Amino acid sequence: MTAPGSPCPHVPCKGTIRASGYCGTCHRHPSTAPGTATAPARGTTGAGTVPAPRREARVRDADVPGGTPDAPAPRQEAAGSLDRDGLVRLPRVPRPADEDVVRSTARRPEGGRRCGVPDCTGTIGVSYDGGPAPDEGFCPLCGTRYSFRPQLGPGDVVAGQYRVIGYLSPGGTGWVYLAEDLDLPGQRVVLKTQINTQDAAARRKAVEERRSLTSLHHRDIVGIIASKQHRRDGEAEPTDYIVMEYVAGRPLDQLLLASDEELARMFGEPFAIDHVVTYGCKILGALEYLHDQGLLYCDMKPENVIHYDRQIKVIDLGAVRRIDDRSSALVFTPRFAPPKRERDGRGFLVDTDLFTVGRTLAALATRAQRPAGLAARSFDRLIGRATHDDPAARFTSAAQMSRQLWEVLREHRALARGERYPERSTRFEPTAVVFGAALGTVPALTHWTQRAEGAAPPDLATGVPDPREAARALPGPIADPGDSAAVLLGGLAGDAPERTAERVGDDPALQTVEVALWLCRSYLLSSEPGAAGAGSRAAAERWLDEAVRLMGRDVAGYDWRPPWHRGLLHLMSGQVKEAQGEFAAVYATVPGEWAPKLALGYCAEYLRGATEPGQAEEAQARAEAEAEAEAYYRAVWERDRAHTSAAFGLARLRLLHADRAGAVRVLDQVPTTSRTYDLARVAALRVLTGRVGGTAPSPDDLAAAEVRLAELPRDDARDRLVAEARENVLAGHPAPPGPASLRARLALALTLAPPRTPGFPALPQGQLFEGSDSRRALAQLLYGSLRTLVGQAPQADRPELLDRAYAVRPRSRF
């Protein structure tokens, strides 16, 4: 047993073993690592310890929970709550009574079957006169006798130990009986034998199934108890029986037939995509275990998964075959299997198993509530990849598919229930760079010194950020740990890609995919705008081509990293529409990841602004682009509050409709622990005091700003924010025209009380406006603010600020 604190033996995991006996990073048991002498005890290996990532050229698998034995359930469990693996805690399914699952009379399997004699192509069990198909007879080609009649009936005892209770549904190649273990009263088992005892191929299949079951020990796969022989009266040879554990529960295909009301009673809430994803992760955990044993399941479908108690069990391993088997007949269900041309052309492989899982989940999803928001599209993208017509475009391992499925569950829970479970991506590096941060930037002195004399203060920076800014803020992919040069990337000088490029030419150890992608990003992000950066952008394109060459064109065509880098290239060149297409390809490949959604949100927002308002078609396009941007940004932000670029994007969308309160609500969601908290706090203050669409803030907005200003430290930044707010309000309420006659002007000059501006708003009392009740009083305050900024300015800028201060200073009446 591996001691707690020991390094995890799984490669390339760098975690340590916890007191629970499992790795704290990859969640696997040490005994499942390749080369370990001890295998995990039966029933302890589950989908929750999703097997080790498989080394692949185009993607990197990541471990994901999915079926580890649940911790003891509390007495009161809320419907839809999550277990310790982050999956939905399945409802408890009671054990059905024997009479509800068995029949006292046998039901013959439907359809004809091929003769089991080697090299014989005859079909047996087919009616030729329109009557019922015969239960027994002779092959019309080779003359071999066959019988489809069950060998056992209720009350028969097998091997002196197992008494048959009744018939279960017949499998693809065998009769299945429910029996009682006479040595353990009350203990139920399943007996399975072939349908046609004369079928040599079926006998070989039964031997293979027995061998497979004997060697498998997984909590989510039905287990074998024993293998027995039993000879009936009149038989020359005994018949082999597999004794299997009885899974007393409910097959998932019954969910497809249940009413909405029945499903709601069973799950304690409406049947939702949460439950479908949970079933999927557990099934994939079981299949990944099979794949690691060199086996394919081949016949995944809802009826082959039993929901019992709070768990699931994959049953009926009659179709199991070795991955390298290319000769034995395939056993599958056409509705859930790939098309015939594919089956005939390439047989079954790992991605075929994942195809059947995709079809299974798609079938279950037809009975589930539609996922919330963008999660519906993400789920569809996942199913689309799993069941893609081109096998090369599918997931390449169960762990890879399970990880994306788990991410989609996280997205749905965040959008539907407001639950957030921040977790580092397995594909993209975290980034602290925010695009659109100008909204939360304290105005520089150039805000005043570089403005034309007499010009009104500019509107708040609510426009779409420049594409280059967005490209620089988007994250880079995590380097493939299997790349021989991956460990060296952190030591390379990102601001000097030329030096690294020279080294690559001289050092074959650096001529790898990850180094080429790193150089692509380095040249790209260090490029200047316009013609000055054309050389760097061209170098970035060359290195991306080199990465594709090293991957191999066939592999690179289905890898998400080349389109991600092409999307960045397009953004740096201002080609946002082309970038959108590349990021959409990334989204289709890794539908659970946040980064492509953030990129697509930006592209949609930008393209909305690029569509001129006018005809109905343009207005519709703008509305659709805005809705797309909203959906993508919200999916990223609700999932993880660390991605502040999405929050600023949502705030900008609110301000398109002058919804200051909505923008502030989003910005206030930035956690106080975030490094961008101060940025969001400043942005919220500026939204409340700034000019939006040429409109000044309302008194209610200013009152809210007053409260926020009191929370800021007294420093130069605060002085600039105060000056900006006062200037914005003053500009929003221009001075009325003066009296026309000399007598009126003289009377106004001799008035002791300061003149009150008609229609001037009642400004909030506090530090921001200090009781100003007239335009003249506010102008005096702004004059004081600008004089304060003079002291912050360099000597060369002071005259400009002084002139601006005197320009707003109210004239004396004496």
The Cα–Cα gap between 317 and 197 comes to: 19
pLDDT at residue 49 in the model: 36
Angle (CA) 403 560 487, round 5°: 80
193 and 283 together in one domain:
no
H or E element in which residue 727 lies: helix 716-731
Q: Can you tell me the mean pLDDT for 425-447?
A: 91
- 119 pLDDT more than 80: no
Residue 294, classified by CB atoms within 10 Å of its CB into exposed (0-12), middle (13-18) or buried (19+), is exposed
What confidence tens digit (pLDDT) does each residue in 749-761 have? Answer: 434 344 455 667 7
Angle (CA) 509 515 519, round 5°: 135
224: β partners: 244
- 170 pLDDT more than 80: no
> How does the average pLDDT of the chain come out, rounded?
84
DSSP-based three-state secondary structure for 552? coil
Residues 485 and 514: beta-carbon distance below 8 Å: yes
pLDDT at residue 643 in the model: 94
Residues 285 and 362: beta-carbon distance below 8 Å: no
Comparison of pLDDT for 61 and 24, the residue scoring more:
24
Q: pLDDT class for 737, splitting at 50, 70, 90?
A: low
In a domain, 678, yes or no: no
239 and 143 together in one domain:
yes
The residue assigned the tokens 């009885």 is 246
pLDDT at residue 732 in the model: 79
Comparison of pLDDT for 11 and 420, the residue scoring more:
420
pLDDT at residue 35 in the model: 55
- 322 pLDDT more than 60: yes
What confidence tens digit (pLDDT) does each residue in 525-538 have? Answer: 888 887 767 889 99
Residues 803 and 742: beta-carbon distance below 8 Å: no
Q: Can you tell me the mean pLDDT for 546-552?
A: 94
In a domain, 126, yes or no: no
What confidence tens digit (pLDDT) does each residue in 641-677 have? Answer: 999 999 999 999 999 999 999 999 999 999 999 999 9
Q: How many CB atoms lie within 10 A of CB 20?
A: 10
Query: Which residues does 420 contact at the CB level (< 8 Å), separation at least 6?
Result: 414, 638, 639, 640, 641
189 and 335 together in one domain:
no
Query: Which residues does 40 contact at the CB level (< 8 Å), separation at least 6?
Result: 29, 31, 32, 217
Domain extent for 284 = 250-417
In a domain, 570, yes or no: no
Q: Residue-wise over 732-756: b if at least 16 C-beta within 10 A, else e?
A: bbeeeeeeeeeeeeeeeeeeeeeee
719 and 796 together in one domain:
yes
In a domain, 704, yes or no: no
The residue assigned the tokens 């490949």 is 589
The Cα–Cα gap between 389 and 402 comes to: 20
In a domain, 94, yes or no: no
pTM beyond 0.85, yes or no: no
Q: Which two tokens stand for residue 287?
A: 């299949």
Q: Count how many domains the chain has.
A: 4
Length of the chain: 814
Residues 716 and 709: beta-carbon distance below 8 Å: no
Among candidate residues 223, 245, 267, the one where a domain is terminated: 245
Among candidate residues 245, 272, 295, the one where a domain is terminated: 245
320 and 279 together in one domain:
yes
Residues 702 and 729: beta-carbon distance below 8 Å: yes
Question: In the chain, what percentage of residues exceed pLDDT 70?
Answer: 83
216 and 262 together in one domain:
no
3-state helix, strand, coil in the chain (%, to 5): 45, 10, 45
